[in-house]
Amino acid sequence: MEYIMKSCPICGGKFVVMEDAANEAVYCTLECLSKAEKSMNKVSMKI
């Protein structure tokens, strides 16, 4: 199984994911995922 190093767009941290999951895994933790969702909601509310 291949592993890919990615960087989280929220906290900037590096994390490793399996190649199969690399397209789905964008954020290093669920905490960062929920932060991203909250900020997306704020953006859509402004529009």
User: Which of 10, 17, 33, 36 is the binder for Zn ion (CB under 5 A)?
Assistant: 10
Using CB under 5 A, which of the segments 8-16, 18-26, 37-45 binds Zn ion? 8-16
Give least dist CB 47 to Zn ion, A. Answer: 25
Q: With binding defined as CB under 5 A, does residue 11 bind Zn ion?
A: yes
Report the DSSP pairing between strands 3-7 and 14-18: antiparallel
In terms of CB distance, is 13 or 20 closer to Zn ion?
A: 13
